[in-house]
């Protein structure tokens, strides 16, 4: 594969965790990767780790103008956009009665609004070429997983699942595939923070809190970010050309619907 015919892939929230793993996994396939993140240094570090023709972009996916700038910059640099992975997301651990309007707005601004307008803007690049893969990172929280970090987060991820299905139906006429991945317990920095909060609240060690999070998983192991990355790479591959409108749980069997 030459640089000219390599896939071009934009990953949001690529500075850490699942997003970084996805960016690196695509780079290993020979793709030209754009690592986008609100943290410019983290984006640059991910792009450097990806090597090759990777580029870094600072972007706030809660800002529609910034989304437009991000996608325009990537398309101009790479010549076109084949794949977008809408991964950027935020949350915090909170009981439903303790959530505030600020919490709701912050999570939905990034997790729901951000995914929608990134999807829409990327589709504008893909439609004229009649090809493209859109991959949204949702969560089993959107499936009703009782161990979710909070209700507002669950609602935002439920929105991503519904958006994925409707977007797939409406963009199929343009030969675009739209799918979602619903990670389960995945040991990222964000999840580690939530586990630490739980440990402090319950008066147990962090290791005990991690063990408690893993115990309900039938396969008895949490995800590594690479597990999510592998599914993203598959959904962008020729083998997934006839898959669209699907939301795949990657969770060790924790949720079965």
- DSSP secondary structure code for residue 148 in this structure: -
DSSP-assigned letters across all residues of 153-175 = HHHHHHHHHHHHHHHHHHHGGGT
Active site residue 95: no
168's tokens: 């797939």
Nearest to 103 by CA among 161, 151, 160, 39: 151
C-alpha–C-alpha distance, residues 209 and 224, integer Å: 17
67: tokens are 């989304």
Q: How far is CA 176 from CA 5, 32, 33, 63, 137, in A?
A: 18, 19, 19, 24, 17
Q: List residues bridging with 34 in a β-sheet.
A: 10, 55
What's the distance, CA 158 to chain centroid? Answer: 14
Q: What are the tokens at 254? A: 């924790």
CA-CA distance, 62 to 100, in Å (whole number)? 18
Provide the strand spans (E) within the chain: 8-12, 32-37, 55-58, 83-86, 132-137, 176-183, 247-250
- In angstroms, the CA 15 to CA 41 distance is 8
* Residue of 12, 116, 153, 222 marked catalytic: 153
Distance CA 155, CA 112 (A): 9
Length of the chain: 257
Residues recognised as catalytic: 153
């Amino acid at each position: 594969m030459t640089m000219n015919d390599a896939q071009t892939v934009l990953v949001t929230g690529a500075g850490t965790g699942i997003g970084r793993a996805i960016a690196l996994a695509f780079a290993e396939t020979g793709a030209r990767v754009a690592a986008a993140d609100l943290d410019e240094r983290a984006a640059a570090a991910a792009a450097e780790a990806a090597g090759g023709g990777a580029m870094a972009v600072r972007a706030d996916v809660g800002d529609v103008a910034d989304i437009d700038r991000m996608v325009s910059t990537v398309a101009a640099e790479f010549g076109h956009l084949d794949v977008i992975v809408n991964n950027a997301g935020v949350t915090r651990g909170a009981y439903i009665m303790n959530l505030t309007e600020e919490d709701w707005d912050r999570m939905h601004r990034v997790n729901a609004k951000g995914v929608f307008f990134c999807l829409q803007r990327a589709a504008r690049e893909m439609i004229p070429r009649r090809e493209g893969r859109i991959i949204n990172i949702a969560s089993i929280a959107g499936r009703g997983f009782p161990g979710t970090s909070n209700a507002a987060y669950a609602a935002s991820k439920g929105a991503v699942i519904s958006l994925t299905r409707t977007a797939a139906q409406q963009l199929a006429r343009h030969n675009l595939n739209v799918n979602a991945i619903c990670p389960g317990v995945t040991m990222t920095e964000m999840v580690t923070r939530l586990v630490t909060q739980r440990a402090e609240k319950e008066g147990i060690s962090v290791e005990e809190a991690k063990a408690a999070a893993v115990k309900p998983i039938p396969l008895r192991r949490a995800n590594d970010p690479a597990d999510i990355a592998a599914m993203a790479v598959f959904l962008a591959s020729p083998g997934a050309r006839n898959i669209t409108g699907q939301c795949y749980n990657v969770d060790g069997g924790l949720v079965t619907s």
